[in-house]
Structures are given as structure tokens and as C-alpha cells.
Amino acid sequence: MMVPTNREIDAWIAENIMKLSGVGYYRRVSCRLGGWEKCNKEDKTPDEQSWGASLYYTHIPGNLAAIYSVPPYTDKIESAFEVVEVMRNSGYHFIISTISDGVKKYSVTIRGCKRIIDSMHSDLITISDISPAKAICMAVCNLFEEYHGKEKDSEISTKVA
């Protein structure tokens, strides 16, 4: 089982949870001229090889004049809480706590209804990690794989462990 990188998780969340358009890797067309082009993760700007591709999204679909960096959801708690807010607005509840078994970890439990007709919330998924932001993101990814089959629409094809 291949474990996705933080930026792969960020890309999945940006596209599937935050509904950002045009999520992908982009590079500058030239170091002297403006403009961006979609590319592979490992690509470089042709006339400046020290400029690598970065993960961006387009504010207006198809408009490469206005691209923005995908937030670091797995690395910054502020960005992870943007995900929590979107999920809460969709009816999910988050329980975030600390646990200590020699190493301080953060436990994230997402509660919600398994079926639309259910009125009682039940624990849908619980994930622990040493980073609270990554624990939130891993729980969201695993929830959508398990209950909504989102792994078919995503680059993340295995459970985040």
C-alpha cells in the first residue's frame, strides 16, 4: 500500500471537499514572460530549471492568468480548520482530542449519519497522528473513501494510514 504525500492529500481535499477548480501542478511558461501551464509534478520552467512545478488551483476555471497555491491543509492547522468548517456545514461533527501513549498525538473522530434516514449521529471514523492538521485531513480522506466511494474519483486510491 502506497501512502500518499501531504501534497497529494492536500490536492484531494482541495478538489473533493473544498471544491476548488483546476487543481493540479503548474509551472511558469518562462522566467521572463508571464503565464502558467499545467504540467507534471516533476516538471521545471524551461528556461529556469531551478523553478519547479507547484500545486495550484484556478480561481476561474480555465483562466491561467489567476492561479493560487493550494493551501497546506495537512501542515497548517488554520488550513485544516477550513476543511472542518466546510464539513460542519455539511452536517458532520468533529471531536478533536489529545492522547498520550509516550508520544503526544491528536485523535480526530468524525461523527455523522451513515444514511440520510438516520437521526442519531454515530462515529464514522477515528484517526490519530502527531500533527492535528494531518489527523483532520486523514480522517476526512478515509471517511470519504469508506462511506462515499470517493477513491474512484481521486488520485488517492488507497486508505490513508
Domain with CATH 3.30.160 in the chain: 77-153
Residue whose C-alpha cell is 503548474: 26
13 vs 61, residue with greater confidence? 13
User: Does 143 or 54 have the greater pLDDT score?
Assistant: 54
Q: What is the mean pLDDT of residues 103-130?
A: 76
What confidence score (pLDDT) does residue 14 get? 96
Q: How far apart are CA 116 and CA 87, in angstroms?
A: 16
pLDDT, one tens digit per residue, over 17-37 is: 999 999 999 999 888 887 888
Average pLDDT for 153-158: 33
- Does CATH number 3.30.160 belong to domain 77-153? yes
- Strand ranges of the sheet holding 36-38, from the earlier edge strand across to the other edge: 36-38, 21-28, 54-58, 67-69
Task: Kindly list the distances between the CA atom of residue 19 and the CA atoms of 11, 13, 101, in Å, as whole numbers in the listed order.
Answer: 10, 8, 37
Is the pTM for the entire model greater than 0.85? Answer: no
